[in-house]
Amino acid sequence: RIEAARCPDVVVAQIDPRKLKKKQTVNISISGCQPAPEGYSPTLKWQQQQVANFSAVRQSLNKHRNHWRSLHLDSNVTMPKPEDEEGWKKFCLGERVYSEIDALSDNENLGIDYMKVGFPPLLSIVSRMNQATVTSVLEYLISWFGEKKFTPELGRWLYALLACLEKPLLPEAHSLIRQLARRCSEVRVLEESKNEEQISALNLIICLVSRYFDQRDLADEPS
């Protein structure tokens, strides 16, 4: 109390303006999603149905998580360590997508080589992932998607990881899914061939981020 009584009522900070010039503020875009191409905007009914389906998937996953986690993984399934970014990209997407190899070699017509085509997001796999790992892998795949094209392998994993993401969202997860929705809207606009299946997949991810995870400013306006 004696020390506090000796402190002045008002204190003025001595600021060196030269230091402020070296630490400029970085501008970050907080704009919403780009609208869907004309004729491809999803209806409100479709969006509501996707949210209902997604909610049912999440409830089932939570209910049976311990069961799926208790199952033994196949001998060829080796999950990367949480911090192994490149390992997870190859694990989820496969060498072919990760390395952007389009052609099949002559000796690849028998059986499935998951190292080449990627492991699907099996319940026995995703049930073993804690929230930190789910968020890390989501970050890895969104980072990859930031410069690459959308593929079915990527779409399946993004859907599965979103299904594993617990609410309320942690700040880093909140930022990630908003980044994901924006990227989906960018790719959707640039889709030259207007592949309906691909645009529908992109619409789905935007719908889940905006309407299930309550990022309403990113939602598509009903057509």
For the chain, the farthest-separated pair of C-alpha atoms sits apart, in whole angstroms, at 86
The tens-digit pLDDT sequence of the chain (223 residues) is 677 777 776 666 666 665 555 444 443 445 678 988 888 899 999 999 999 999 999 999 999 999 999 988 888 899 999 999 999 999 999 988 888 776 555 455 445 777 788 899 999 999 999 999 999 999 999 999 999 999 999 999 999 999 999 999 999 999 999 999 999 999 999 877 778 899 999 999 999 999 999 999 999 987 6
Helix 85-98 to helix 131-145 angle, to the nearest 10 degrees? 40
Residue 56 contacts by C-beta under 8 Å, 6 or more apart in sequence? none
- Distances in whole angstroms, Cα of residue 217 to Cα of each of 1, 69, 176, 181, 220: 50, 36, 15, 11, 9
- Distances in whole angstroms, Cα of residue 67 to Cα of each of 24, 56, 127: 52, 17, 9
pTM score of the predicted model: 0.80
Closest CA to 134 of 166, 156, 104: 166
Q: Considering the domain 40-101+112-218 in this protein, what is its CATH number? A: 1.20.58.1070
C-beta of residue 211 within 8 angstroms of C-beta of residue 219 = yes
**Helix (H), strand (E) at residue 16:** none
Give residue limits of the domains in the chain.
Answer: 40-101+112-218
